[in-house]
Structure 1
Amino acid sequence: MNLAQKRQITDAIIQLESHLEFSTALHPVNTEEQKSQFLSGEIQEPSFVYAQQGVSDIAFPDVAVETELDALYRDRIGFTKSLVLLLGLIGSDQEFSSLSQVLFSVGHIGKEPVLLKKKEEATVSAEQVVQTFRQALLSCNLTDWKVETSHACSSRLFVNQWTKKVVVREDVSLTTEELSTLTRHEIGVHVLRYARGSAQQEPLLRVGTLLGRLGEEGVACYVENPQGHSRWYLRHLSVQTALSHSFRETWQVLQESGCSPEEAWVHTLRVKRGLADGASHGAFTRDTLYAQGYEEILHYVQGGGDLAPLLSAPIHHQEVELLKREAHLHIFPLVPTLHSNV
C-alpha cells in the first residue's frame, strides 16, 4: 500500500468519525422529562427519543493486505464502518445491542480493588473544569484545541479528537481530587495520544489502530489512578446487568450496590442509551472498556511494560515492536505535570 492510499484511508476515517460522537448522538432528546417521570414513579420504564443522525457515505480504497501494517489499516477501516452501522441502529434495540456487543465485547474482570474512600464535597464547577483543562492543554503546547460546555450529552466529559474539542457537561460538579485525576485521563491520555499520533510519520498512527482505540480507556484509567477506581467496576456491572434486565431492573440493582437513585439513573442511562424502550433487555456495552482495559494495562505495567509508547499514539501494547519496525514509531517522553503518578 502506498502513502497516498494510506492518507486516503485515514482522511476518510477522520471525516466519518468526526460525525460519530456517541456522547451526544446517543443522548435522548427527552432525557429530563423521562428522568422526572421515572424517579417520581409516574412511569415504570422510560421511553427514549433520539435526534436523527446522518452520516455521509464515504468510500474507502480497496486494501491489498501484503504486510502486517496493511492488516492494521484493513482492521481500522472495518471498525469505522461498524461504528457507522451502529449509529444507524439507534432505536432498534436488539440490533443495536447485538452489534454493540460485537464491537465492545463484555469480558470477565477481577475483584474491585478495595480503596479508602475520601469524603470530599464536589465544589469544582464546570467552568473551573474548563479553565483547568485549558491550562493543561497549554502545558502540552496544544494551542489549537478548545474546551467548551454542553448540556446535551450523557457523559460528564468527552474528547472529540477529530474536531480537537474537549466537552464538559454544563451541570458537572467535581471534587478537587476528581479534577486532578480526570485532567490526567482526558488531557494526559485522550488528547495527548491523538496529538502525538498526528505528529508521527505513519498516517495510521494519527487515527490509531483498532486495538489501540479499544484499549485507550484502559491507558486513560491507569494514568488517572493506577490503584483503580470503583466507578469503572460499577460501569462494568451496569453493562452486565443491562444485557438481561430492563432499565428499572438495572437501576434497582445499582441502588442495591450502593448508588443513590440519582447516581443509579446516571449509570443506567449510560448503558441504556441508544435503546428506545426502557423495558428492552440490552445495552450500549462500551462502558466495559474501562475496567477491562484498566486490568489489562495494570498487568502490562506490572510485567515491566513501558507506558511511554502507549502515550505516543493510539496503539496497543502488543503492536509496539511492529510499529517501531514498520511505522518508525517515535516514542515521546512522559509529561511531568500529567504523568507524575505513573
Structure 2
Amino acid sequence: MITTPEKKVINRILDKIKKKEPLRINIPGNGLVNMEKPVPFMVVYRIPPNGKDGFTSRLGKTESSYLYAEDCPECSEVVKSIATYLSDQFKGFLLFEVWLSEKEETIPFTVHVSQKSGLEVAQKLKDELGKINILGSSMRTEINKGKNVVAPPYYKPLINDKDANKSAITLIGLEIAPIYMNVSTGRAYPLFLRDLRSKFSKAIRKGFFEFVRIHTSYNASNFQMLGTTSLEKNVFDIDEELGNCSNLFDFLLLITPINVDDAWLAFQKSNYLKPPIFHYRPMPIDPELVKRKLYNLPIEDISDPTLAFLFRDKRKEVDRMLDMMMEREKPDFLLTSMQLFGPIDEKLLETAKALLVAIDVPEEPPEKKMIKAPEFAKMAEKELEWLKLQDPNISTAVRIRDDIDGILVNRGTLNINKSFQVSEGRAFSLLQHEIGTHVVTYYNGKAQPLKLFYIGVPGYEELQEGLAVFSEYLTDGLTPNRLRTIAARVIAVQQMISGSSFIDTFYVLVDKYQFSNKAAFTITMRVYRGGGLTKDAVYLKGLLNIIEYIKKGKSIEPLLIGKIRQDYIPVVQELIHRQILAKIPIKPRYLDKKYESRIENIRSGGNVFNLIKH
C-alpha cells in the first residue's frame, strides 16, 4: 500500500517527467532520483547494510538517469512508477542495478539477467566490459542467468520478473568485484580506480545504447547522446580556477627575448662567431605558489570521467609550463619542453630534410611590394570587422609594439612588431593563419561553457599551427620559402636536442641549407630561446597530421571549435553528442566554397610535397 507521502513524491517525479523537465528529487530512504531528461533507462545503487563503497556508489552519477538510496519499501514503489511510465512512453525500459560483490576472490564483472529481453543487452555489456584493460589485464566478465537474480543478495529486487515482463521493463544487475581496492585495508588504489571509472562509464553507456536501439522508440544515433547533458557546479569552479592559474602568466611572451633586434646586430658585429645574449621579461609570478593552487583543486570530486580527464590533463600541462618558468635559461628547460611538446620522430625529421632538398633555394627575389606594420594592422582590423558580423563579441583591437618578434596572437588579440613587414602576396594568407585560425578558435572556444576551450587544451599548438599553415596553402600563400622555413625549424630543434650550440645550428642552416644569415638567425633564436624551446617542430608535424586527417575524408570545421588537439576530437564529439558543447559561431574565410578544390586535391591523395609551388 502506497502511503500519502510516497504518492506526493511519485506525483512530483512524474509531473517533471511529463513536462520533460530535469528532476533532482529526494525520496524516502535517504535517497535521490536524478534524471536530466526522460530516457528509457535508470542506474540504481542501494547502499549495502555495511555502508557504501567508493566506486559503485559513484557509478550512477556519471549517467543522465540514476537512483541512489538505502534499501526501503518506498524505493520500490518509486522505481516501479518511473519505470512503468517511461516504458509506456518509449515502449520499453531498462532498470540497471549495480552492487559490490561480497566475495573477494571472484571475476571482475558478473552481468545478472533473468529475462529473454535482457540477453542481447547482457551480451553487449559482457563484450564492452571485457574490453576494459587496466595495467595490461583485461576485465573478465561473465553472464549469470536465472530468476530474480538482478539484485544484490542482501536486498529484494525492486521489481520482480513477473511485474517487469507485464510492463516491458528489462531488469539487469551488475555485480562488481572489489578488484580496485586492498580488501584487507578497505582502501582503493586511486589511479586504478580513476582509470576503471572512466572506461566503465563508456562500456555501460554502449550497453544502454544497445537496449535503446533494439527495445525502445527513443531516438538516439550515438551512445554518447545518452550521457549527462548538464555540468555540476564543481566543474565550473575548477574550470574557473584552472583558467585563472593559466592567465597569471603568458608563457610565450615570458620565454621570448625582448632584445631580438639588438641581439641580431651584436651577432652580426661578432662576424657570427659569438652566441647572442638574450634578455627576458621579469617573472610576474612565483611558480611554486601557482602550483600549490593547481594541486589544491579537487578534480577527484568530479563525477564525470571525461571532464575530470580534461582538467587533469590541463593541470599537468600548466604544471610543466610553470616548471619551464623556473628553469628559464637553465638545462632542465629543454627537458621539460620535450615533455610538453613531444620529441622529433625519424619520419618527421626525414620529411623536413626531404622538403629542404625538394624545394629550390630561391634566387635573389625581384623587388616586391612590402606591407609594413601600420598597413598590415589596418588589414587585420578589416578582417576582424568581417568576423565580428558573425560574432559581436570579437574585439577588433590590433596592437603594434616593439617588445615581440614578428607577429603573434595573444588571448584573441593580434600583436605586431613595429618593424614587421610582409610581401603583398602573402599578407592575406598570413591573416588567415593568425586571425582565421588563432583568433577564430579563441572566440569559438569562448562560446563554449568551459574556459578550457579558449585557453587551450594541453598540446593544442600542434593542431593549431598545422591548421594555420594549411590555411596558408588554401589561400595560395604558402610560398616555397615559407615551407622551407617550417622544415628548417624541425632541423634546428633536432640540432639543439642533439647537443649542437647556437652557432653550430646557425651555420648548418646557412652552409648546408643555404638560408640567409638573418633567416638562419631568426629560426635558431626561436628554437634556442628560454634555454631550448622545441615548440617550433609542431608546425610541420601539425601540417602533416592535417593532411592525413583530410585524406580520410574528414571536415576542417570541427577542428575550429576551440583550441583543441587532434586526438581530443573523440572527446569533443562526445561532448557535442551530450549537448555540452555548442556549434561554432564563427567560420573563417578559408572555409568558403572557392577553396574546396584545394581541399579535394589533398583528399584525393595529396601529400606535403604537393603543397610546393613551382
**TM-score category, normalised to shorter length:** 0.7 to 0.9
Do the aligned residues in 1 keep the contact of 2:394 with 2:443 (CA within 8 Å)?
Answer: no
Q: Could you tell me which of 229, 251, 259 is aligned with 2:515?
A: 259
Deviations along 1:13-67, one digit per CA (max 9) or x if unpaired, are 3333334334432233444443223212266222333332122534131212651
User: Per the alignment, do residues 37 and 314 of structure 1 end up closer, same or farther by CA in structure 2, a change over 3 Å counting?
Assistant: closer
Give the aligned partner of residue 503 of structure 2: 248
Structure 1 pair 174–96 and aligned structure 2 pair: CA distance change class (3 A)? same
Is contact 1:129-1:179 (8 Å) kept?
yes
Whether the 8 Å CA contact 1:16–1:55 is kept in 2: the answer is no
Aligned to 1:307: 556
- Unpaired runs of 5+ in structure 1? 276-282
Matching residue of 1:239: 493
Report what 1:191 is aligned to: 439
Q: Could you say if the C-alpha distance between residues 95 and 121 of structure 1 is closer, same or farther in structure 2, counting changes exceeding 3 Å?
A: same
Is the contact made by 1:23 and 1:153 (CA closer than 8 Å) also made in structure 2? Answer: no
Q: Is 1:100 aligned to residue 337 of structure 2?
A: yes
Change (3 A) 1:147 1:16: farther
Contact map agreement 1:149 1:168 (CA 8 A) in 2:
yes
Which has the higher relative contact order, 1 or 2, with Cα contacts under 8 A spaced 6 or more apart? Answer: 1
Maintained 8 Å contact 1:20/1:84: no
- Which residue number corresponds to residue 587 of structure 2? 335
TM-superposition CA deviations, 1:280-323 (whole Å, max 9, x none): xxx21110110011101111011111110101222234333432
CA separation in 2, counterparts of 1:115 and 1:196? Answer: 36
Once the two structures are overlaid, the 10-residue window that deviates more, 56-65 or 74-83, is 56-65
Cα distance, 1:198 vs structure 2:
1.1
The answer to whether the 8 Å contact 2:492/2:524 transfers is: yes
For 1:112, the aligned partner's letter is L
Can you list the C-alpha shifts for 1:58-105, whole angstroms capped at 9, x where unaligned? 41312126512320121011111211221221121x111111111112
Give the equivalent residue in structure 2 for 1:280.
none
Which residue in the other structure is 1:13 paired with? 242
C-alpha deviation, 1:211, in angstroms: 4.0
Partner Cα distance (1:120, 1:112) in 2: 26
CA offset at residue 234 of structure 1?
1.4
One-letter identity of the residue aligned with 2:522: V
Q: Partner of 2:401 in structure 1?
A: 150
| Secondary structure at the counterpart of residue 139 of structure 1 | helix
Aligned residues of 1:198 and 1:205 also touching (Cα < 8 A): yes
- Tell me, yes or no, if structure 1 residue 34 matches structure 2 residue 289: no
How many matched pairs? Answer: 331
1:54 aligns with 2:284: yes
Shift of 1:148: 0.6
Please tell me the residue identity of whatever aligns with 1:287. Answer: D
TM-score (norm 1): 0.87
Percent identity of the aligned residues?
21
Cα distance change on mapping 1:120 and 1:198 into 2, 3 Å: farther
Greater gyration radius: 2
Secondary structure of the 1:140 match is helix
CA contact (8 A) 1:10 1:207 kept: no
* Contact kept? 1:122, 1:173, Cα under 8 Å: no
Q: Quick check: 2:440–2:587 contact (8 Å CA) kept in 1?
A: no
TM score, norm. by length of structure 2: 0.50
Query: Does structure 2 retain, via aligned residues, the 8 Å contact 1:105–1:288?
Result: no
CA 1:307–1:224: 2 relative to 1, 3 Å: same
* Cα distance change, pair 45–212 in 1 and its aligned pair in 2 (3 A): closer
Match of 2:147 in 1: none
1:76 equivalent in alignment to 2:314: yes
Q: Secondary structure at the match of 1:224?
A: helix
How far has the Cα of 1:194 moved from its partner?
1.3
Report the RMSD for the aligned CA atoms in angstroms. 2.6
Partner of 2:374: 127
Using the alignment, how far apart are the partners of 2:518 and 2:461 within structure 1? Answer: 31
Q: Name the SS of the counterpart of 1:322 in structure 2.
A: helix
2:143 corresponds to which residue? none
2:56 paired residue number: none
**SS of alignment partner, residue 493 of structure 2:** helix
SS at match of 1:210: coil
Asked if 1:63 is matched to 2:296, the reply is no
Q: Quick one: which amino acid aligns to residue 160 of structure 1?
A: N
Question: Which amino acid in 1 is paired with 2:492?
Answer: S
Paired with 1:96 and 1:182, the residues of 2 have a C-alpha distance of 30
In proportion to residue count, which structure has more strand?
2
The alpha carbon displacement at 1:122 in A equals: 5.2
Match for 2:493: what amino acid?
V
Listed as ranges, the gaps of 5+ residues in structure 2 are: 1-61, 63-230, 600-614
